[in-house]
C-alpha cells in the first residue's frame, strides 16, 4: 500500500474516531450564570484534513444549537457567535424548576469551506444551590462592553471584584448577562469603536451598600431626568475598565417583593373539567340552507341597481325635448344673434388658416457645394420673418458693388449692381470691365 493510501486510511480512521466522542456533561447551578464556550479547535479534528499535510486550518465554522427534539434552545439559554472565525458561546441562567432534569443540547458544527458537519450533545445537569435565590440583586448597565467580551472569565472576574469592593458581601454571584440588543437597544454605528452595551445582574446576601444607594437620592434622580450623569462616589472604582450608566441601575430586594398568587381559572364554557372526556360532534350534521343568504347578498342589490338603471334610462331617453322644441321656445332675435356669432367664428377660423405660410429658403440649412457639410441658415431661428422684405435691397447685400451703366441716349451714366465673384481667392472683375467699356 502506497503512502497516499495510508494517509487516506488514517484520515478515515481519525474521522470515525472523532465523530464517536462521548457527550459532554456540565453541572451548572440554578440561579448562577452558566457559560459554555464552543471552541473551534475542538471541532476542527472532526473534519477531513487538508490535502497537504502541515497546512494551518483556518476554516470558517458556524454552530447551530437546539434542544434535542425541538428546533430551538430553552428559553433561559442564549447563543452568540460574531464571526465564523470566532468561538461560539452558550450562556444563560438556569431556573430552579429544571433542577434534576437533564437538558440535552444538540450542537452541530458547519465547515463553510468543505460543507462538512459534525455533531455532539451537551448534557446540562442543573444542580441546586443553598440560599437560592440570593435576596439582594443589582443589575448594572455597562456601556463600553459587548456581551461576548463580558462573558470572558477574566473580564467578568474583574467586574465582580469591583462590585465586591463597593458592596462587601460574603457571597456574590453573577446571575445573568443580557445584551442591550435583547432589551430593545439599537445597533451602534461602526464608528469610534462603539459598543452595544451589556446588562449584568449580580446577587449578594447582604443589603445594598451606601454607594449603590446614592442612585436613589433626589439629586441624582433629578440629574437622571435631565439626562445628566449622576454623582456616585464609587464610580472611580469602575471607571478604569467599565463605564456604568448609573441611571439604569436596578436594585431589587426580593425579601420585600410581594409574591403574586394567580387564582386558578374556574372551568366554564370551552374548558373541560378535570378528568373529563372528550365528546366529538356527531357525524350526522344538519344541512344548511343558503337561499336566504343568496337573496340578501346578490338578489336584493341587483334588483335595486336594475330599478335605478330603468329610472335613469327613462329620464335620459324618454324625457328629451330635442333641438326643434328648444328653437320653438327661443325668440327669433336671439336665434339670429347666435347664428351671426357662429358665422363670424367660422370666418375667422378660415382666415387664420391662410396666415400659415412656408418658411423662406434662407432660413433652412443647406449643403456646402465643395465640402458637402451642412451650412447653417443665413437667418437664425429667432429671426423675425414678418419684417423681412420680399426682395433684398442693395444695403442688405454686403458683397455687392455698383458700376456705372451707359444710357442709350446721352453721356450720363447710371449705376448697375453686380455681385462680386472670386475664383481661387482672386476677385473676378470681368463684368465690371465690360460695363466700363460700354
**Residue 349 confidence (pLDDT):** 86
Lowest-confidence range among 32-36, 189-193, 213-217, 222-226? Answer: 189-193
**Residue 182 confidence (pLDDT):** 87
For residue 400, is pLDDT > 50?
no
Question: Which three three-digit cell numbers place residue 401?
Answer: 458693388
Residue 177 buriedness (CB in 10 A; 0-12 / 13-18 / 19+): buried
- Residue 90's pLDDT band (cuts 50, 70, 90): very high
Domains and CATH numbers, the chain: 23-124 (2.60.40.10), 136-256 (no CATH)
The dihedral through the CA atoms of 113, 117, 118, 122 has a sign that is positive
- Residue 394's pLDDT band (cuts 50, 70, 90): very low
Question: Which three three-digit cell numbers place residue 362?
Answer: 434662407
**Residue 10 confidence (pLDDT):** 33
**Residue 435 confidence (pLDDT):** 46
**Residue 393 confidence (pLDDT):** 46
Percent of the chain residues topping a pLDDT of 70: 68
Lowest-confidence range among 177-181, 211-215, 351-355, 370-374? Answer: 370-374
Lowest-confidence range among 152-166, 226-240, 417-431? Answer: 417-431
Count of Cβ atoms closer than 10 Å to residue 248 Cβ: 17
For 29-44, how does the pLDDT look when each residue is reduced to its tens digit (9 = 90+)? 888 899 999 988 888 8
Cα-flanking dihedrals φ and ψ of residue 152, to 5°?
-60, 140
Question: Which three three-digit cell numbers place residue 14?
Answer: 481519525
**Residue 307 confidence (pLDDT):** 95
Top mean pLDDT of 251-260, 293-302, 375-384 is at 293-302
**Residue 396 confidence (pLDDT):** 46
**Residue 239 confidence (pLDDT):** 86
For 100-137, how does the pLDDT look when each residue is reduced to its tens digit (9 = 90+)? 889 999 999 998 888 888 888 999 999 887 766 788 99
Helix-, strand-, coil-residue percentages of the chain, each rounded to 5: 35, 20, 45
Lowest-confidence range among 24-28, 278-282, 346-350, 398-402? Answer: 398-402
Burial 106-129 (b: 16+ CB within 10 A, else e): bbebbbeeeebebebebebebeeb
Amino acid at each position: 500500500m502506497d503512502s497516499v493510501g495510508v494517509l487516506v486510511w488514517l484520515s478515515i480512521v481519525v474521522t470515525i474516531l472523532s465523530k464517536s466522542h462521548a457527550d459532554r456533561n456540565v453541572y451548572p447551578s440554578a440561579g448562577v450564570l452558566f457559560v459554555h464556550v464552543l471552541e473551534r479547535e475542538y471541532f476542527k479534528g472532526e473534519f477531513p484534513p487538508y490535502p497537504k499535510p502541515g497546512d494551518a486550518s483556518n476554516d470558517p465554522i458556524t454552530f447551530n444549537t437546539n434542544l434535542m427534539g425541538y428546533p430551538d434552545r430553552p428559553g433561559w439559554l442564549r447563543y452568540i457567535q460574531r464571526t465564523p472565525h470566532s468561538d461560539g458561546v452558550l450562556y444563560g441562567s438556569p431556573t430552579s424548576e429544571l433542577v434534576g432534569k437533564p437538558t440535552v443540547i444538540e450542537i452541530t458544527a458547519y465547515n463553510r469551506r468543505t460543507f462538512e458537519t459534525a455533531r455532539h450533545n451537551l448534557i446540562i445537569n442543573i444542580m441546586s444551590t443553598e440560599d437560592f435565590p440570593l435576596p439582594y440583586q443589582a443589575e448594572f448597565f455597562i456601556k463600553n462592553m459587548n456581551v461576548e467580551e463580558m462573558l470572558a472569565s477574566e473580564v467578568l472576574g474583574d467586574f465582580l471584584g469591583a462590585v465586591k469592593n463597593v458592596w462587601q458581601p460574603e457571597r456574590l454571584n453573577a446571575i445573568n448577562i443580557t445584551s442591550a440588543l435583547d432589551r430593545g437597544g439599537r445597533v451602534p454605528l461602526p464608528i469610534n469603536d462603539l459598543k452595544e452595551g451589556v446588562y449584568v445582574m449580580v446577587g449578594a446576601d447582604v443589603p445594598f451598600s451606601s454607594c449603590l444607594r446614592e442612585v436613589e437620592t433626589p439629586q441624582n434622580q433629578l440629574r437622571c431626568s435631565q439626562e445628566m450623569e449622576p454623582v456616585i462616589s464609587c464610580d472611580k472604582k469602575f471607571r478604569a475598565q467599565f463605564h456604568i450608566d448609573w441611571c439604569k441601575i436596578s436594585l431589587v430586594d426580593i425579601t420585600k417583593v410581594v409574591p403574586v398568587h394567580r387564582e386558578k381559572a374556574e372551568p366554564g364554557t370551552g374548558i373541560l373539567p378535570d378528568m373529563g372526556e372528550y365528546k366529538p360532534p356527531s357525524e350526522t350534521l344538519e344541512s344548511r340552507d343558503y337561499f336566504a343568504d343568496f337573496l340578501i347578498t346578490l338578489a336584493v342589490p341587483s334588483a335595486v341597481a336594475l330599478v335605478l338603471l330603468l329610472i335613469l334610462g327613462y329620464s335620459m331617453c324618454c324625457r328629451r325635448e330635442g333641438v326643434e322644441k328648444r328653437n320653438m321656445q327661443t325668440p327669433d332675435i336671439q336665434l339670429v344673434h347666435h347664428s351671426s356669432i357662429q358665422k363670424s367664428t367660422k370666418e375667422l377660423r378660415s382666415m387664420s388658416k391662410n396666415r400659415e405660410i412656408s418658411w423662406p429658403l434662407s432660413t433652412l440649412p443647406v449643403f456646402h457645394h465643395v465640402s458637402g457639410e451642412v451650412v447653417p441658415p443665413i437667418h437664425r431661428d429667432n429671426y423675425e420673418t414678418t419684417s423681412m422684405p420680399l426682395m433684398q435691397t442693395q444695403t442688405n447685400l454686403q458683397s455687392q458693388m455698383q458700376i456705372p451703366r451707359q444710357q442709350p441716349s446721352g453721356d450720363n451714366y447710371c449705376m448697375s449692381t453686380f455681385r462680386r465673384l472670386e475664383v481661387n481667392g482672386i476677385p473676378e472683375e470681368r463684368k465690371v470691365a465690360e460695363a466700363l467699356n460700354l
